[in-house]
Amino acid sequence: MDVSPFPHHGPLEPGQLPAQTDLVDDLVQRVTERRVTALLGPRRYGKTTALRAVADRLDDTTTTVWLDLYALASWSDLADRLDRSLAAIGGAGSPSLHELAARINLPLGLLAIELRKPADQRPDPILLVQAQLDLLIEASRTRSIVLVIDEFSGVVGVEGAAAKLRTGLQHHFQEIGLLFAGSEPSTMQMLFTDRAEPFYAQADLIEAPALDLATIDSLVRGGFDDTGRSAGSIAASIAEFTGGHPHRVMELADAIWRRVEEGGTASEADVALAISDVMAATDAGMERLFSSFRSAEQLVLRLVAQGETLFGAYAGSMGLSNGGAQHARAALVDRGHIRRVGSRIEIVDPVVAEWIRRRFG
């Protein structure tokens, strides 16, 4: 059996990236011009994939330092993550990062050990972070460096961390390219648009786009062709069901592909069955997710999935007050479960929407 041409577990490797290059081109240009940029978008919308592709494209000329702040817990956690990021590129260039670190007595790549020592022998993690940022700046004098901070919204987990990153780097935005990404829409917005935040007005915000029909068509066609199958005309159905949600596009394309024998052609019937396959595979997770919402949020999700208004008589009869609807809607938007598209509200993840429609009719 062939390996599926539609990987959908985690970010894609640059070589696996289907032909969607506009976003990557734009980010490469921005980071090359040293315009600080933040890529916003829902979970599993291809942000990390795009950032990896950017790093890959710059690879010949630029060293990328990759920092992931997902669920950041403490200053030590931040120092530890920075240490790993810096150690990962430690040998490259001359003088190497290891040599530069040695000059300022920074134990590069060994922090995990240091942080396990008793409290009185442990280095101060805030000073470590400062030294690590200094190292980054020092290194940028002899090579081109881009700092990619993925899941940047995690920075709010440690008070003062955003301010430290800002003050540590602020005079060096021209030397060090800075690229942020994050999934928590309200937190990401807040970090760059709230006057009280250290990164206020420091970055251009751009949205990770949904995949358009032409892109879906070419990636589906390519994947089927490369594995001796024909995609027929299923791209439009995939686009319609998924709304271009990158992860769901790939997941559904994969489920359809698994139903088509080598030499065969995909049909609409395969699409319908594959949607049911995806629903079955995700059912337990969807139920857990749905149960985790408050009851007003559950009602709002049901109404949005069914295309009903949140403030009419029907919503009222279901037990949703106007105030309750407003509050729940705001909370769901903040966490990226629903979003405004023009004057409409929609559920971001098409599988969540479908699960609710199937469960509640």
Ligand X SMILES: Nc1ncnc2c1ncn2[C@@H]1O[C@H](COP(=O)(O)OP(=O)(O)O)[C@@H](O)[C@H]1O
Q: Footprint of Mg ion on residues 221-240 (CB under 5 A)? A: none
Distance between CA 341 and CA 326 in Å, rounded?
Answer: 17
Q: Could you tell me how many residues make up the chain?
A: 361
Task: Give the binding range for ligand X (CB under 6 A) out of 88-96, 229-237, 243-251, 344-352.
Answer: 243-251
Residue written as token pair 């000073």: 127
Q: How far is CA 290 from CA 118, 139, 356, in A?
A: 43, 47, 9
b/e sequence 197-209, b meaning 16+ C-beta within 10 Å: bbbeebbeebebb
By beta-carbon proximity to ligand X, the closer residue of 41 and 185 is: 41
Amino acid at 338: I
Cβ contact 6:223 at 8 Å: yes
Which two tokens mark 109?
A: 């790549």
By beta-carbon proximity to ligand X, the closer residue of 43 and 172 is: 43
Q: Which residues pair with 63 in a beta bridge?
A: 145
Under the binding rule (CB under 6 A), the answer on residue 12 touching ligand X is: yes
**Least distance between Mg ion and beta carbon 328 (Å):** 26
Under the binding rule (CB under 6 A), the answer on residue 350 touching ligand X is: no
**Least distance between Mg ion and beta carbon 260 (Å):** 30
# chain residues binding ligand X, by CB under 6 A: 21
**Least distance between ligand X and beta carbon 151 (Å):** 8
- Contacts of 236 by beta carbon, 8 Å cutoff, 6+ apart: 213, 217
Q: Footprint of ligand X on residues 19-78 (CB under 6 A)? A: 20, 41, 43-49
By beta-carbon proximity to ligand X, the closer residue of 46 and 125 is: 46
8 binds, among ligand X, Mg ion, none (CB under 5 to 8 A by kind): ligand X
164 binds, among ligand X, Mg ion, none (CB under 5 to 8 A by kind): none
Cβ contact 109:83 at 8 Å: yes
Binding track over 209-238 against ligand X, x by CB under 6 A: --x-------x-------------------
Cβ contact 146:63 at 8 Å: yes
**Least distance between ligand X and beta carbon 250 (Å):** 3
DSSP annotation of 121: G
Q: Footprint of Mg ion on residues 38-67 (CB under 5 A)? A: 48
**Least distance between Mg ion and beta carbon 133 (Å):** 23
Q: Nearest residue by C-beta to Mg ion? A: 48
By beta-carbon proximity to Mg ion, the closer residue of 20 and 48 is: 48
b/e sequence 243-271, b meaning 16+ C-beta within 10 Å: bbbbbbbbbbbbbbbeebeeeeebbeebb
The footprint of Mg ion (CB under 5 A) covers: 48
The footprint of ligand X (CB under 6 A) covers: 7-8, 10-12, 17-18, 20, 41, 43-49, 211, 219, 246-247, 250
